[in-house]
Amino acid sequence: MYTKRLYGFWFMVRRSYLPFLLGNLYGLFIYFLSYLFNLNLTVPWGPLSIIGIAVAFYLGFKNNSSYDRTWEARKIWGSIVNNSRTFGAGVISFVEGESQDEVRRELIYRHIAWITALRYQLRLSRRWEHTNERLNNLYRPTICEKYIKELDSELIQYISSDEIKSLEGKTNLASQILSIQSKRLQYLRNENYFEDFRHMELHRLILSFYADQGKSERIKNFPFPRQYASVAIWLTIVLCALMPFSLMDIMKDEGPWLLFLCPFFTGLIAWVFFLMEKIGDYSENPFEGTHNDVPITSISKTIEIDLREMLNDSEIPEPIEEIDGFLM
């Protein structure tokens, strides 16, 4: 997530200059081809303007759909924050009995372990993601394909080594941690640490965590439909390929100096359309570890801080700080 008020102009230029450059070169090629061989390579502006309107509407649809995926992901993790605080408050107030402080700590720490495992799983790569543009240099412990090794080094802070060993070979560690948590709650109910009503309230929160995990995995594992993403690219290429021909048609009567600007305007229009397409493209996958991610690492650390403060822990971790304007 980018935290500054605006993206810097040169930052945007560095990330999107290629369509402008190629558009200028292509426009120059068409212009000089027409000029050197005295060819009439013009196309009426009317049909191209209709294509441009269609492409703009299509890109608008794609961007809206991509934004919905990102905003849904943020709402899911907002729900995880709220339910985690409720779970922590419930554990602190509901659990009573022998060694109650140790039991409360165990349940809350296991919940933090679940959040940690979930965010690691959501940052594993998928074929359709921009894995070559991950912010590995900023957040390497979180965005890494050495999943099990890196994850184990964090989980050991929250759950026992025997519990970690019991997770070996499991394909979805986050789900298994919730399953262990559920079984542990049942055991504590049988030992009369809380009564049935409070047990059901805690179990209801476990169900909500399963639901939020499933929603996150749905966004992670089901890409924005490739037919929509692919058509947007190809329609934009067709529009930009025809652009210099139509620009020469409307500028040929305005004087040679304005006709000479056709390549520049070709590149500028290509940059605008491809930039709109790129915005949608980079909003499709909110857990891929790039500039526009939902900041699940920061959110997870916020939850951990809140829960450990409920326990009155002596060593509370610091919040995740932004780096170069990015928060993960």
Q: What is the pLDDT of residue 128?
A: 84
Cα 18 from chain centroid?
24
What's the pTM value of the predicted model, to 2 decimals? 0.88
Q: Three-class SS string for 140-207?
A: CCCCCCCHHHHHHHHHCCCCCHHHHHHCCCCCCHHHHHHHHHHHHHHHHHHCCCCCHHHHHHHHHHHH
Give me the pLDDT at residue 255, please.
Answer: 62
Backbone angles phi, psi at 84, to 5 degrees: -65, -45
Nearest to 224 by CA among 296, 293, 128: 128
Cβ atoms of 158 and 112 closer than 8 Å = yes
Per-residue pLDDT 10s for the chain (328 aa) are 777 777 777 877 788 889 889 989 988 888 888 777 777 778 888 888 888 899 999 889 888 999 999 999 999 999 999 999 999 999 999 999 888 999 999 999 999 999 999 999 998 888 888 777 777 655 444 444 555 567 888 899 999 999 999 988 888 999 999 999 999 999 999 999 999 999 999 999 999 999 999 999 999 999 888 887 888 889 999 999 988 888 887 776 666 666 778 888 889 999 989 888 888 888 888 998 887 888 999 999 999 999 999 999 888 988 888 887 777 7
Residue 105, pLDDT score: 95
Domain boundaries, given as residue ranges, for the chain: 9-310
